Amino acid sequence: MSFTMSRFSWKEVERHQLDRDKALAGWDEVNLGYLTFEEAKAEADRCLQCGTPYCQEGCPNHNPIRDFIGLIQEGRLIDAALLDWEANPLASCTGRVCAWERQCEGYCVVINHGDPIRIGTLERFMGDYALQHLDEIDLSSFKGEATGQRVAVVGAGPAGLAAAWFLARKGYDVTIFESWYLYGGVMAYGIPEYVLPQRIIDLEVEKLLRLGVKVRTGVRVGKDVTIKELMERDGFDAVFIATGANQPATPGVPGEDLPGVWTAKDFLMRATEELLSREYGLPVKEPVHVGDRVLIVGAGDTAMDAARTSLRLGAKDVIVAYRRTEEMAPSRPIEIEHVKHEGGRFMYLVNPTRFIADESGKLCAVELIRMELGEPDRSGRPRVQPVPGSEFQIPVDTAILAVGYKPERDLADSTEGLEVANWGGIIVDRYGQTSLPGVFAAGDCVTGAKTVVHAIYAARKACEGLHNYLMAKRLEREGAARHEALLLSAAAAS
Ligand SMILES: Cc1cc2nc3c(=O)[nH]c(=O)nc-3n(C[C@H](O)[C@H](O)[C@H](O)COP(=O)(O)OP(=O)(O)OC[C@H]3O[C@@H](n4cnc5c(N)ncnc54)[C@H](O)[C@@H]3O)c2cc1C
């Protein structure tokens, strides 16, 4: 089955979103999804229930899409969600943030006859329904028989939360250690409220708490407690590292550390802290002032979030500058449309060459150079190269750098024997185990910056490895105990 980029239908989305003025007036979620069961069922009923569900092939986590849509067709929303949770415990999150156009929906055969089935919107609808009815759901069938073994999960992003879910289901006693105040990792401090509200992440975590998972926020492993201490002093039998890739990259041009130049991570995090400070008791820092003119460098999801957040903070002219073309932008197409719809504009085939300060030392302009597409590189993607002498300047009050992330090195630096690649990624074997026995890792900290659904899948796979490791330990321990008992009874008998 070949992949077709699902046609982006703004009309379809428009039907379910806040109008522009309302969207820009606050931080409310813009996409509203299906508003009634009838609407969701009408969409589910278009699904052909294919013998071979190619949509599942297109999903990086291979969610049971055909079967959960079949259950929605029958009106069994909670059963549908429970089925999805078997593979994907964060359905209400992925139902909001996945790049369906390139994944499940891009593989839906209905695409050949018009619009593909809106799989993401259906997943979100049934996931939200189940979260709203958590009290009616018996999660005990999800909880495995207690093994008596304890696992520490480091990081409460999608990889850590998913790992906690899969491990609790196998009967492990799981504690998550998270360095920030909120759960969700980048889903909480990177992806803004108007895309994925924190209350949804909190409900997903509530599900984990009901399985007996414990969560400790404000603990930075490597600084407040080491992995060695967790294992040797605190009695954890294994550790699962899911610390993400949160060290922002920068383009490396002069002036990028001027006041007024932000990394997207710091900018989005600060905006979230400000927004949620009262509700969650977060420390209030200085408010973010972006001024009237904002330039964002990059064209991934992070850049689109930075653009939309700048518009909500009052910027009048927001420009997203990207060195390639719109078709080559890594962002989800829907996010680009949201930026346009909310009043942002785009400049393609340009790259910053320097950030310029005024007499007070603050950023006042960006110099850009025009780029052109050249011969394809080894991956087949055209190279981009600067057009000599094409530099030009535009005045700005704020510049936001959204050009990528890599893993932070502090945990590796404080953990003797934990091997990392040159770029900072934790090295694991095919079972997800690091160079340290009993220490597993998955998500962006292993692969580099990817997506929520990739982090969930990686965690699921690594949890299988961790489970096998702990099962072997258990058998070894039981075998040794049995052997000792046999020796004792033999000694007593003689
Ligand atoms: C702004 C932005 C927008 C994005 N938009 C999308 C999108 O629309 N769709 C999509 O699919 N993906 C998106 N992504 C990517 C996606 O969010 C990430 O790929 C995903 O969150 C990775 O999950 P993770 O669990 O591996 O890491 P993270 O989400 O980074 O979580 C890691 C967690 O570990 C914690 N931590 C780190 N070090 C320690 C330590 N030493 N001790 C304790 N805790 C620690 C961190 O505080 C964090 O909570 C976006 C990324 C960004 C930055």
Strand partners, 18: none
Quick check: 69 pLDDT over 80?
yes
Average pLDDT over the chain, rounded to an integer: 93
pLDDT tens-digit profile of 134-167?
999 988 878 889 999 999 999 999 999 999 999 9
The model carries a pTM of 0.94
Distance 385 CA to ligand 1 centre (A): 31
What is the whole-number distance in angstroms between the Cα of residue 475 and the centre of ligand 1?
Answer: 35
For 10-137, CATH gives 1.10.1060.10
Could you tell me if 214 and 375 are in contact, meaning their C-beta atoms sit under 8 angstroms apart?
Answer: no
Question: Quick one: pLDDT at residue 10?
Answer: 53
> Residue 275's pLDDT band (boundaries 50, 70, 90)?
confident
Distance from C-alpha of 351 to C-alpha of 390, rounded to nearest angstrom: 11
Share of the chain above pLDDT 70, in %: 97
Q: Is residue 403 lining ligand 1, measured as CB closer than 6 Å?
A: no
Q: Whose CA is nearest to atom 5 of ligand 1?
A: 301
Give the pLDDT band of residue 278 (cuts 50, 70, 90).
Answer: confident
The structural architecture, per CATH, of the domain 144-247+406-480 is 3-Layer(bba) Sandwich (3.50)
420 C-beta closer than 6 A to ligand 1: no
Q: Look-up: residue for tokens 């200085």? A: 286
- pLDDT tier at 2 (50, 70, 90 boundaries)? low
Give the number of the atom of ligand 1 that is nearest the alpha carbon of residue 452.
11
Q: Which of 262, 243, 6 is nearest to 120 (CA)?
A: 6
Q: Are 425 and 322 in contact (CB under 8 A)?
A: no
Average pLDDT over residues 226-236: 97
- 223-232, 405-414, 455-464: the lowest-pLDDT one: 405-414
Q: Write the residue with the smallest CA distance to atom 7 of ligand 1.
A: 97
C-beta 300 within 6 A of ligand 1 = no
Residues 250-403, CATH architecture? 3-Layer(bba) Sandwich (3.50)
Is the distance from the beta carbon of residue 411 to the nearest atom of ligand 1 less than 6 Å? Answer: yes
pLDDT of residue 493: 80
Domain spans of the chain, in order of start = 10-137, 144-247+406-480, 250-403
Instruction: Name every residue whose Cβ is closer than 8 Å to that of residue 60 and which is 6 or more positions away in sequence.
Output: 103, 451, 453, 454, 457
Burial 48-80, CB ≥16 within 10 A → b, else e: eeeeebbbbebbbbbbbbbbbbbbbbeeebebb
What was the pLDDT predicted at 12? 56
Q: Is the CB of 240 under 6 A from ligand 1?
A: no
DSSP strand pairing (247-248 vs 405-406): antiparallel
CA distance 94 to 91: 5
- For residues 113-118, give the mean pLDDT: 88
Residues whose CB is less than 8 angstroms from the CB of residue 446 and which lie 6 or more positions away in sequence, other chains included:
425, 426, 427, 428, 432, 458
CA of 135 to the centre of ligand 1 (A): 29
Contacts 24+ apart (CB under 8 A), 430-435: 430/465, 431/462, 431/464, 431/465, 431/468, 431/469, 432/458, 432/461, 432/462, 432/463, 432/464, 432/465, 432/466, 433/465, 433/466, 433/469, 434/241
pLDDT-based confidence at 494, cuts 50/70/90? confident
- Same CATH fold assignment for domains 144-247+406-480 and 250-403: yes
pLDDT at 90 over 60: yes
| Average of per-residue pLDDT across 323-338 | 92
Rounded to an integer, the average pLDDT of 195-211 is 95
Task: Indicate the residue type of 111.
Answer: I
pLDDT of residue 451: 96
Is 60 exceeded by the pLDDT of residue 316? yes
Tell me, using a 6 A CB cutoff, whether residue 369 lines ligand 1: no
Q: Smallest Cα–Cα separation from 85: which of 214, 242, 183, 203? A: 203
Whole-Å CA distances, 149 to 139, 168, 367: 21, 11, 57
Distance between CA 45 and CA 68 in Å, rounded?
Answer: 12
